[in-house]
Amino acid sequence: MTTPTLPHISVPPHPVWPLLEPKQKRALMDRIKAYLKREKAVLVAHYYVDGDLQALAEETGGCVADSLEMARFGAEQDADTLVVCGVRFMGETAKILNPEKRVLMPDIKASCSLDDGCPADLFSAFCDQYPDHRVVVYANTSAAVKARADWMVTSSIALPVVQHLHEQGEKVLWAPDKHLGHYVQKMTGTEMVLWPGACVVHEEFKSVALERIRRLHPEAAVLVHPESPDSVVQQADLVGSTTQLIKAVTELPNPEFIVATDEGIFWKMRQLAPDKKLIAAPTAGEGATCESCAHCPWMAMNALQNLADCLEKGAPVIRVDPLIRERAILPIQRMLAFARERGIGSRQK
């Protein structure tokens, strides 16, 4: 069996958005609200995008959520247009589930290192080597990769789905995040082969520096997204999806939290738990490159300015090849049906 050699991932620099005066910001937000009405459009935003976008999504009847809830929310709307503020795989999932709706994104270049690190042709060749394995792919993949899968999962449902497959005696081929795959394998005891991809944001968290910060904050609970390396996951009081981490801040009694995920999540955490102290887990330390500094450069491509432009021009539009869509919808629907049956997932209000 051969391990795939991943393509080089080109990580863009964080975009620098011109600072807006409060008056300019209000005017831009009003313009966006008017476009949303005119286009019968709704905003579907991820917790990692800029706080102004999250606020606007909430104010206008859209949603701010993790990948699972973004997919569900989009499918429940009777809007003509879904405007996805997040990264491309989120826009593609929305389009796959809602072919009759127009799906817009502020910047079509908003990718993800997991998606870019798992090209469909290489992935298909990898799958061919394991014909007796169930293929489980993370949401952070292209439509073409999903088209080759049996199941799609997000971080909030990966464990129960793989546990379910394990109980049925299945072996699992997992892609593309090796850290999440390793975590799921360890927790469920499933026989798994892992695609060797990683998230450039979560891979930056440093375990030795985290140990040091934990010593300085003995009352803090450590919250870790499972895309982080095992040495960081091992120090967690709670490992979970973005929604599960937010829920922990509101429900655990600790006065302080050390948070190992994209810093965009702090907007929602502060909104729901203003009295809790939030500390960003360290990305600096031995071996640090700080390609991302705990903020996804692709999520940062979403801003008020290009959101207004995209609504005004009706572009960029997300398109998915109908033949790929026909196949890619199956693993997504399987996950949504499983979530419904088990009552998994909810948004943080």
**Sign of the Cα pseudo-torsion (25, 31, 34, 40, in order):** negative
Shortest Å, Cβ 25 to ligand SF4: 25
Residue 276 and residue 268: Cα distance in Å, rounded? 12
Q: Which does 298 bind (CB under 5 to 8 A by kind): ligand 13P, ligand SF4, none?
A: ligand SF4
Closer to ligand SF4 at the Cβ: 82 or 299?
A: 299
Q: Which does 200 bind (CB under 5 to 8 A by kind): ligand SF4, ligand 13P, none?
A: ligand SF4
3-state SS, residue 96: helix
| 140 sits near ligand 13P (criterion: CB under 6 A) | yes
Shortest Å, Cβ 112 to ligand SF4: 3
Residues 36-75 that bind ligand 13P (CB under 6 A): 66-67
Shortest Å, Cβ 300 to ligand 13P: 13
Closer to ligand SF4 at the Cβ: 35 or 174?
A: 174
Write out the residues near ligand SF4 by the rule CB under 6 A: 87, 112-114, 140, 199-201, 227, 262, 296, 298-299
Phi–psi pair at 149, nearest 5 degrees = -100, 160
Shortest Å, Cβ 216 to ligand 13P: 26
Residue with tokens 């907007």: 267
Closer to ligand 13P at the Cβ: 154 or 306?
A: 154
Strands (E), the chain: 41-46, 63-65, 81-85, 102-104, 133-138, 151-153, 171-175, 192-194, 220-224, 238-239, 256-260, 277-280
| 155 sits near ligand 13P (criterion: CB under 6 A) | yes
Using the rule CB under 6 A, which residue among 154, 185, 292, 348 binds ligand 13P?
154
Q: Do residues 198 and 232 touch, judged by C-beta distance below 8 A?
A: no
Using the rule CB under 6 A, which residue among 227, 260, 304, 348 binds ligand 13P?
227
Q: Which does 113 bind (CB under 5 to 8 A by kind): ligand 13P, ligand SF4, none?
A: ligand SF4
CB under 8 Å to 165, separation ≥6 — which residues? 134, 136, 151, 172, 190
| 228 sits near ligand 13P (criterion: CB under 6 A) | no
CB under 8 Å to 3, separation ≥6 — which residues? 196
Closer to ligand SF4 at the Cβ: 140 or 190?
A: 140
Q: Do residues 259 and 265 touch, judged by C-beta distance below 8 A?
A: yes
Closer to ligand 13P at the Cβ: 98 or 292?
A: 292
Q: Which does 93 bind (CB under 5 to 8 A by kind): ligand SF4, ligand 13P, none?
A: none
Residue 205 and residue 271: Cα distance in Å, rounded? 24
Task: Residue 112: name the closest of 137, 75, 79 by CA.
Answer: 137
Amino acid identity of 9? I
